[in-house]
Amino acid sequence: QKAENQILIIFGASGDLTKRKLIPALFELYKQNLLPDKFAVLGASRSTLSDDEFRKRADEFLPNNEKLDEFKKKLFYQAVQNNSAEDFKPLKSRLKEITESLGIEKNYIFYLSTPPSLYGIIPKFLTDNGLSTSNKYFRRLIVEKPFGTTLESAKELNIQLLNYFSENQIYRIDHYLGKETVQNMLVTRFSNGIFEPLWNRRYIDRIEITSAESLGVEGRGGYYDHSGALRDMLQNHLLQVVGFVAMEAPVVVEANAIRNEILKVFQSFRPIQENEVSRYVIRGQYTESKIGGQQVVGYRDEPGVDRFSRTETFVALKFFIDNWRWAGVPFYIRTGKKLPTRVTEIVIHFKNVPHNLFGTSSFEHSNNQLIIRIQPDEGILLKFGMKTPGAGFKAQTVNMDFHYSDLADTNVPAAYERLLLDCMQGDATLYARGDAVEAAWKFVQPILTAWETNPEIPIYGYPAGTWGPEDSDKLILHGQWRYPCKN
Ligand code: BG6
């Protein structure tokens, strides 16, 4: 069912995200006839641009297609300054003009894709101009990451936003929740009688999540150096993934039911105290190296990065979830830039059978693994023991491997497509709720504080193109990280 007619107002429209992700996602939705019958995008930012110039810019990232010209007619632009509520008047009149000329109802989604310093200001100016609420029409606010840079700032941001919009109008985007494979986690767990009964401390030995990137900071050094892997990837994307892996079955598949369960997971994280940080968390920074015969610069030599930077480009973490289901099961997460490959996957390591009948020398696998490949090559791999054909009883590990790409004619939508469409339809299931964001920050904050206040906690160098500091291996007492390149 199509969403109601509406206008999407993007603040930060001259930025990268708009060009690279938002407009292409909207075009994809348009091609599939999923946008509302009457729909417009109003780009807003400080630069002066005409509608035509904005459309031309959008072009750069859109594939040539017969529907392109028609789509571009839905794009409009309005320059907006952010100094006072007065500055939003032109935006308001432009909205009025568009709704009237195209006959679109005054349903608005405001998308904040600006520097975070504006997250408090824009909602205020919208409210001052009477744009944040309406008795007749919906008004929603999408907030891009980062949602705070510390626990304190995240709380403050929540308070600020709630001054102007109510929680059910606020959509905090985390593009990992838009990934098909992350959502499939719920279906894998709760629709399969073969997995559901095993998904707990009795049968699971440990859970491992790896999110590796082969790219470095790619011109984002200025931003990244004030962020680091813990803030950039772990606090948001990867903890949300943990929420899906670890939550109890929701009562229904609905925003609040699911978000309540995610919150409970976050509330059950065993806190890592500041004085325990070096035992549970390993941080690293890539150093110069040669990859495929090519010299690659170290992180500190990247543009925009401080020469003495102690910002982590790699983090590995061990932690526990103190609840009925997961008591005693270690969770391991690692993420980093300039690792050997790009892969995000979840590995469920099942416990061994009580007694190994088939000897150890020939039976290499120690336990069964279910590997959920979030990206690329989305799919699910199950590793299990099978008899090696021939004489005797030797066992070997074999793979049962499902690839999304095998589903003919099935389009796996990009994360932003799914999320934008959900917001247009008023479905917040795949958006982070304020209380959960704060709970995630509460868990991560002592780590940041320990790093900032205790210079003795090492930051290990790792040559670009390797799997991070060797010390991250020591986090896992029995066993080791799975190295996806080796399958
Ligand atoms: C972004 C981070 O949120 O996620 C980037 O800021 C990171 O540093 C990116 O590269 C990873 O997203 P994906 O979808 O490519 O795994």
Q: Give the separation between CA 110 and CA 471, rounded to whole angstroms.
A: 45
What's the pLDDT at 359? 66
pTM equals 0.93
Q: Give the separation between CA 234 and CA 213, rounded to whole angstroms.
A: 13
Can you count the helices (H) and strands (E) in the chain? 15, 17
Q: Is 90 exceeded by the pLDDT of residue 65?
A: no
Per DSSP, the residues of 97-121 read HHHHHHT--S-EEEEE-S-GGGTTH
Q: Give the separation between CA 137 and CA 462, rounded to whole angstroms.
A: 53
Ligand 1 atom 15: residue of nearest CA = 213
459 Cα: distance to centroid of ligand 1 (angstroms): 22
User: Which residues sit in the known binding site for NADP(+)?
Assistant: 12-19, 46, 145
Query: Do the Cβ atoms of 147 and 437 come closer than 8 Å?
Result: yes
Size (the chain), residues: 487
Question: Is residue 173 within a helix (H) or strand (E), and if so which, with residue range?
Answer: none
Q: Which residues of 384-394 are buried (b: 16+ CB within 10 A; e: fewer)?
A: ebeeeeeeeee
Catalytic residue list contains 237: yes
Q: Is 60 exceeded by the pLDDT of residue 363?
A: no
CB of 232 shorter than 6 A to ligand 1: yes
* pLDDT tens-digit readout, 162-207: 999 999 999 999 999 999 999 999 999 999 999 999 999 999 999 9
Pairing of strands 204-212, 330-336: parallel
**Amino acid (1-letter code) at residue 283:** R
Q: What angle do CA 457, 459, 464 make, to 5 degrees?
A: 165
Ligand 1 atom 4: residue of nearest CA = 233
CB of 213 shorter than 6 A to ligand 1: yes
CB of 174 shorter than 6 A to ligand 1: no
Q: Which atom of ligand 1 is nearest to the CA of 374?
A: 16
Ligand 1 atom 11: residue of nearest CA = 233
Q: Give the separation between CA 137 and CA 105, rounded to whole angstroms.
A: 7
Tokens describing residue 428: 């917040």
Q: Measuring CA to CA, which residue among 113, 42, 50, 125 is closest to residue 82?
A: 125
Q: Give the separation between CA 326 and CA 169, rounded to whole angstroms.
A: 33
Q: Please return the burial class of 258, using the count of CB atoms within 10 Å of its CB with bins 0-12, 13-18 and 19+.
A: buried
Q: What is the mean pLDDT of the chain?
A: 93
Residue to substitute in 217, 231, 233, 236 for testing ligand 1 pocket (most ligand atoms within 8 angstroms of CB): 233
Average pLDDT over residues 151-171: 96
Q: Please return the burial class of 295, using the count of CB atoms within 10 Å of its CB with bins 0-12, 13-18 and 19+.
A: exposed
Q: Give the separation between CA 300 and CA 221, rounded to whole angstroms.
A: 9
Average pLDDT over residues 368-383: 93
* pLDDT tens-digit readout, 301-347: 999 999 999 999 999 999 999 999 999 999 999 999 999 999 999 99
Would you place residue 16 in the very low, low, confident or very high pLDDT band (cuts 50, 70, 90)?
A: confident
Question: Is residue 23 within a helix (H) or strand (E), and if so which, with residue range?
Answer: helix 23-31
Q: Give the separation between CA 238 and CA 374, rounded to whole angstroms.
A: 11
User: From the CB of residue 119, how many other CB atoms can be counted at a distance below 10 Å?
Assistant: 20
* pLDDT tens-digit readout, 217-254: 988 999 999 999 999 999 999 999 999 999 999 999 99
Name the phi and psi angles at 228, rounded to 5.
90, 165
Would you place residue 361 in the very low, low, confident or very high pLDDT band (cuts 50, 70, 90)?
A: very low
Q: With pLDDT > 70 as the criterion, what percentage of the chain qualifies? A: 98
Question: Is residue 384 within a helix (H) or strand (E), and if so which, with residue range?
Answer: strand 379-387
User: From the CB of residue 202, how many other CB atoms can be counted at a distance below 10 Å?
Assistant: 10
> Which among 226, 237, 365, 403 is annotated as catalytic?
237
Q: Is 90 exceeded by the pLDDT of residue 408?
A: no
What's the pLDDT at 410? 74
Q: What angle do CA 443, 152, 15 make, to 5 degrees?
A: 100
Q: Is 60 exceeded by the pLDDT of residue 439?
A: yes
Q: Please return the burial class of 33, using the count of CB atoms within 10 Å of its CB with bins 0-12, 13-18 and 19+.
A: exposed
CB of 378 shorter than 6 A to ligand 1: no
Q: With pLDDT > 90 as the criterion, what percentage of the chain qualifies? A: 84
Q: Please return the burial class of 175, using the count of CB atoms within 10 Å of its CB with bins 0-12, 13-18 and 19+.
A: buried
Between the alpha carbon of residue 343 and those of residues 212, 339, 381, 414, 432, the distances in Å are 5, 10, 14, 16, 23
* pLDDT tens-digit readout, 126-135: 999 999 999 9
Ligand 1 atom 10: residue of nearest CA = 213
As for the ipTM of the complex, it is 0.97
What's the pLDDT at 409? 74
CB of 438 shorter than 6 A to ligand 1: no
233 Cα: distance to centroid of ligand 1 (angstroms): 7
User: From the CB of residue 54, how many other CB atoms can be counted at a distance below 10 Å?
Assistant: 25
Average pLDDT over residues 420-444: 96
Would you place residue 394 in the very low, low, confident or very high pLDDT band (cuts 50, 70, 90)?
A: confident
Q: Which atom of ligand 1 is nearest to the CA of 223?
A: 6
Query: Do the Cβ atoms of 447 and 230 come closer than 8 Å?
Result: yes
Q: Give the separation between CA 414 and CA 175, rounded to whole angstroms.
A: 9
Residue to substitute in 232, 313, 334, 338 for testing ligand 1 pocket (most ligand atoms within 8 angstroms of CB): 232
What's the pLDDT at 486? 54
DSSP category for residue 85: G
